[in-house]
Amino acid sequence: MILMLCGFFYDATYVSIPYQDATPEMIADYQHHSKIATLQIRGGLTIGVLGTVLRMILIKRSRMA
């Protein structure tokens, strides 16, 4: 969850709005930061979903025993 929130914060801070009439260097910088933010958000979501699924499996197993 924290990783996902960090991704959103990073996105809002460094990526937010694309430049108008950007130089190729600025476009490359924007794309670099956009990829970092996307990886953080996807990583946080993946960890969150996997954690939720594993928790549900553990709860089911403990009730069956």
pLDDT tens digits along 8-59: 888 888 888 888 899 999 999 999 999 999 999 999 999 999 999 999 999 9
pLDDT of residue 61: 92
Domain ranges of the chain: 2-64
pLDDT of residue 64: 85
pLDDT of residue 15: 82
Specify the 3-state DSSP secondary structure of 18. Answer: coil
